[in-house]
Structure 1
Amino acid sequence: MSRQNGITVEDMLKLEVMEDCKIVAGFKGIRNTISKVNIMADPDIIDWVQEGEFLLTTAYSFKKDDAEEQKRLIKECSRKKLAGIGIKIYPYLDSLPEEVINLADHLDFPIIDIYYSIPLSNIMTEALKEIFNKQASLLERIEKVHEEYMNAMLEGNGIGELALIVSENIKNPVYLSLDFCNENVEIFDGVDEDIKEFFRKDIKKFYEPISTRSSLKRLEESKVLINGKYIKRMIMPIIVKDNIYGHIFTWAINTPLGGFDLSILESASTAIALGVLQELSVKEVEIRYRSEFFEDLISTDLKRKKKALERAHFFNLNYNDIYIIEVMSFKFILNKGEEFFVDYVQDYVNKVVSIIEDIISNLELHGIVASKMSGIQILLGFEKQGTEQDKLKEFNDLLERELSKKFENMEFKIGVGRAYKGLEDVNKSFSDALKTIRTGKVLTDKRVVTYDELGIFKILCQDFLTEELEDFYNGTLKSLADYDKKKSTELVKTLESYFEHNGNLKKMSDALYTHYNTILYRINRINEITGMNLDDPNDRLNLEIALKIKELLVK
């Protein structure tokens, strides 16, 4: 909504100058806010009016028998979101046509019959004076509320106190959701339990994955149906560095929501955003410090490693615990044409790190979270050997669920290293995790992959074997791959299907939608081109390993 601070149509009717005036249509719009008053000298003024204005005119230009023209005026005023219109009907008309009255009632657009002897300029002067006084009072109140916000922030009272200030000033229920610290505050005092439950469902629906409303970087103003009555609702996003970190919800259960309330929400959103920005700055320093420690800990430089081991107690890491390192990589799928800036990535990294730290804390684990570019490293410590696998699975299940729920546009992969006793050997777990995440990307669609799940790839993914693997591939499968590329055939695909179906040609035929005799012909061609025989167990093993090596080499 645009900010409309002023007086209501009802307030205007209470002015002394309006004593002999009366509302004749659009009674339900009597609480529309008037922010300005304008006088209509000719019909072209409609092109220049603004939302919230109250228009004053006479029926001088109205043609007695032309109700359609009058209806067009009312429709256009309503479309422009004017607060209402005051018409000096007499002596130009006896009354407005009934169909014009009905239209205004339908649109909830107030029409006031101005008493014929009252100068329009007098009404304009008195109304503007009242609007000015009201706006000055509102500004004073807004400034006072802003002071309350700042004092609460400086005293470190937390977002609960800010939410309470919002609720006390707009006199309606308030819900504050802050993703940054996964903190939610609801102030539903004096509200029936069934309505409270409605609020909670309304909030949950707002954050549903199928809804895009939670990603909008502007105020959402709408109406919701509560107990058979439409209630106005405002949702203000909390934005930091062009990124949404939460929302403030309020519903007009007790009093109407207007321009003053919008100012209160905006001010609260700004105050909270400043607090989030401060926390982000601190968080970035902490992450950088932990990342430097982590780099030293896994370093091959003995001096750096020793320095890290001496500082380990600052991070509550015990030297002789069991340690596992996880490496996480991710990318974000943005809207078409949207650029991906480095600071934008860092905002996401900070959010992910916060989620991981919360899970570590909730599960009462020891560990640290570090980051480098768009990757994250997680060091987890376990006091007793034999308990780490169950706790690790619980940690990863919870982490995968939370990341999937919080970041729909993020694709991520987590590689989990083996467990090693003692901080001095964590670099081994880190090496395992790196191999796991590199190899896991080409082996499986699973988001979390452990080193033990790699099978034979635990051998094949060793860095020092790269040249040997290339030589092995060149001597076994490369000729078949080159033949496919040159002749546009599918012999490698057929060979993959052969191992997938244990050499059952009938199942291969069904899976490849290819005639049995064609499959048989392809098998013979594979034997001829590779110089191997699939009936020979050694050749069969070599070709199967070569297919796995191919996956690694083309990743």
Structure 2
Amino acid sequence: MAAMPRKESLPENRPDQTMLSVRELLELPPLDGARLAAGERGAGAVVARVRVLESPDAARWARAGEWVLLPGREEPERLGQLFAELARQGVAAVGLRSARLADPETLKAALDEADAVGLPVVELPGDLALADVVRAVMERASPNEETPLAELQSRIQAMTRLMLEGSGLLALLDAMERMLGNPVAVVQEHDQPWVSESLREAEAPFAGPLAQALAYRHMAGRGARGVFVTQQSAYRVYVCPIPSRRSKPANLLLIERHADIDSLGMLSMDRLSVLIGMELANEEAVREVEGKYLEQFLQDWLSGKIVAAGDWKLRAEVCGCSLPEDTPLCAVLVGMSERHPSPDRLRELARRLRAERFRTVETLLASPFGGELALIVPVPETDRAEPQSASAVSALLERLQPELRSLIGDASLRLFAGRPAGRPELLPMSLSQARRARQVAEVCGLPGERVAYDRLGVYSLLYLIPSSEERAQFLERFAHPLQQADRKGGGRLVETLEMFFRCNGNIKLTSEKLYAHYNTVVYRLDKIQNILGVSLDDPEDRLQLQLSLKLGHITPAGN
């Protein structure tokens, strides 16, 4: 991870701030029920800021004059050591939930340490939201009356003009970064975050703060104006909920990277979140309309309605469909544990996958198609040679599957792929092959989480055998006698024969897999040979038996 430059710290107390002591903070309405559990002689310390300490490892970044709130993830045995470390750094006080005080002996030792170093420890009620504490303290420590309201009004007007010009969400975020002196981002569930310019230049190092902010969406969504989240990297994130009538919640983030977040910055975030919410709704509406055109294009493409390469290119450009040039494309069907997902569910999954940036593929398109979720995936490693293309598709599916499982939330997800299509107009053939792979795999009970058409082998041929007198006679000769014997209590003969072939004729391994005695398996195999009049030592007989077992599992369409 790239190193991030530290910002300059501001003095612990500013002259324009109201001087508020720890003792006076305990009189604030949200802190009813809180009490001073230790550090009475330090209760006159002035509180300038509040920090939620999400990890004990981040304690070294606490600043003088701060009230540090501990949500309860630190190790009990380290509590006294943590108090001593915070006191050395000049922290004004520590807030601790009462639910955190379960071990009296450990607590007493820690509080004695706090008393010895003069660090006030405030016991907070267990049901008190930390967001409410942050809001109450920051409002008193940096009251709204002392905020330059003219500057705030100017910022709102500038952002309003920018929004009316139709500059777009990213332009608004860039303007906010220049205005507030720190990068900003919009984070919404199941979507890639919108980030301002400095984050777009160095997105990877800030993936942690953005993900952390997601975890604290519930804190910002309880009616609180906002909440600070402290990272292990010492960067604080101010999380502000975006007002929206839409069901999906979203947050506006201000990352304290270049300068301290002051009261004017917080107020600006609170007021501008309304404008960002309006622009976000506009972006979503545009994306929804574009998504419908794109979805129709993909469905026409997959169904073979787009024949000419020129028509494909024209419609792809209109829909903003970006795929790598001269790269074979593979159609993939997604098999989920939910057997018959609704059309709305499929559309939502397709939209989510199209918006995602994958690690394993440069780009990916998704669309509902015939009650299934179809993917269009480039296969850059493939060659026109058949064996190599099969290998490339299998490797692609292996890399892609974990990401799809995580995004869709289905641990039993399976993938079925056709052959790579060298030209866009050949993609429907790849989809047809993917469908055949799924049909054969499900009907024949093929194992495996990823099934490529070129890997079906003999199953693809057996699946195509129609119902006929010859087929019936073949099954009557080799399959039906064992099935009848099993129904009459013959002793799991079909199961034993199948496991015998899976174990490559190894009787010892077959007995272990079936949890049966070695002699029992030998007896069953002898019985099979007697019933059918065959020899398992004869390669021709073994081939006939294996084909009959596989064919017996298949029920062709129309039967």
Asked if Structure 1 and Structure 2 have the same fold, meaning a TM-score greater than 0.5 normalized by the shorter chain, the answer is yes
Where do 5+ consecutive residues of structure 1 fail to align? 1-7, 34-74, 81-98, 110-126, 298-303, 334-338
- Report the Cα distance in structure 2 between the residues aligned to 1:489 and 1:216, rounded to whole angstroms: 59
Output one character per residue of 1:147-196: Cα deviation in whole Å (capped at 9) or x when no partner. Answer: 5555545545454433333434544443556775686546379xxx9xx9
Instruction: Give the structure 1 partner of residue 63 of structure 2.
Output: none
Contact map agreement 2:333 2:435 (CA 8 A) in 1: no
* 1:391-540 → structure 2 map (5 Å cutoff): 399-400=400-401, 402-404=403-405, 406-409=407-410, 411-418=412-419, 427-440=428-441, 442-447=445-450, 449-462=451-464, 464=466, 473=475, 476-478=478-480, 480-481=482-483, 484=486, 487=489, 489-528=491-530, 533-540=535-542
* 1:267-416 → structure 2 map (5 Å cutoff): 267=274, 270-271=277-278, 273-294=280-301, 296-297=303-304, 311-315=311-315, 325-331=330-336, 342-355=343-356, 362=362, 370-372=367-369, 373-378=371-376, 385-386=384-385, 389=389, 399-400=400-401, 402-404=403-405, 406-409=407-410, 411-416=412-417
Output one character per residue of 1:11-53: Cα deviation in whole Å (capped at 9) or x when no partner. Answer: 5559xxx9xxxx99353435579xxxxxxxxxxxxxxxxxxxx
Instruction: Give the structure 1 partner of residue 43 of structure 2.
Output: 25
Q: What SS does structure 1 have at the residue aligned with 2:230? A: strand
> How far apart are residue 495 of structure 1 and its match?
1.5
Instruction: Give the structure 2 partner of residue 187 of structure 1.
Output: 198
Pair 1:260-2:261 in alignment: no
Describe the shift of the 1:188–1:315 C-alpha distance in structure 2 as closer, same or farther (beyond 3 A): closer
Instruction: Give the structure 2 partner of residue 234 of structure 1.
Output: 238
Higher strand share: 1
Q: What SS does structure 1 have at the residue aligned with 2:120? A: helix
What TM-score do the two structures reach when normalised by structure 2? 0.57
Contact map agreement 2:220 2:227 (CA 8 A) in 1: no
> In the comparison of the two structures, how many residue pairs are matched?
430
Output one character per residue of 1:219-249: Cα deviation in whole Å (capped at 9) or x when no partner. Answer: 594543668xx66433467899545788746
Q: What SS does structure 2 have at the residue aligned with 1:371? A: strand
Contact map agreement 1:176 1:186 (CA 8 A) in 2: no
Where do 5+ consecutive residues of structure 2 fail to align? 1-13, 25-40, 52-92, 99-113, 125-138, 318-325
Percent identity between matched residues is: 19
What TM-score do the two structures reach when normalised by structure 1? 0.57
Output one character per residue of 1:298-339: Cα deviation in whole Å (capped at 9) or x when no partner. Answer: xxxxxx677x7783352479xxx9976513224378xxxxx9
Contact map agreement 1:10 1:31 (CA 8 A) in 2: no
Describe the shift of the 1:332–1:500 C-alpha distance in structure 2 as closer, same or farther (beyond 3 A): closer
Of 200, 211, 216, the match for 2:206: 200
Instruction: Give the structure 2 partner of residue 107 of structure 1.
Output: 122
Output one character per residue of 1:257-293: Cα deviation in whole Å (capped at 9) or x when no partner. Answer: 6662662574365245324413431332223331442
Contact map agreement 1:349 1:374 (CA 8 A) in 2: no
Cα RMSD (Å): 5.7
> How far apart are residue 455 of structure 1 and its match?
0.7
- Report the Cα distance in structure 1 between the residues aligned to 2:538 and 2:162, rounded to whole angstroms: 79
- Report the Cα distance in structure 2 between the residues aligned to 1:468 and 1:144, rounded to whole angstroms: 86
Output one character per residue of 1:70-90: Cα deviation in whole Å (capped at 9) or x when no partner. Answer: xxxxx9x9989xxxxxxxxxx
**Structure of larger gyration radius:** 1
Contact map agreement 1:180 1:245 (CA 8 A) in 2: no
Describe the shift of the 1:356–1:222 C-alpha distance in structure 2 as closer, same or farther (beyond 3 A): closer
- Report the Cα distance in structure 2 between the residues aligned to 1:323 and 1:458, rounded to whole angstroms: 23
- Report the Cα distance in structure 2 between the residues aligned to 1:312 and 1:13, rounded to whole angstroms: 68
Q: What SS does structure 2 have at the residue aligned with 1:163? A: helix
Contact map agreement 2:252 2:269 (CA 8 A) in 1: no
Q: What SS does structure 2 have at the residue aligned with 1:378? A: strand
Describe the shift of the 1:274–1:424 C-alpha distance in structure 2 as closer, same or farther (beyond 3 A): closer
Q: What SS does structure 2 have at the residue aligned with 1:349? A: helix
Comparing 424-433 with 480-489, which one deviates more in the overlay? 480-489
> How far apart are residue 541 of structure 1 and its match?
2.0
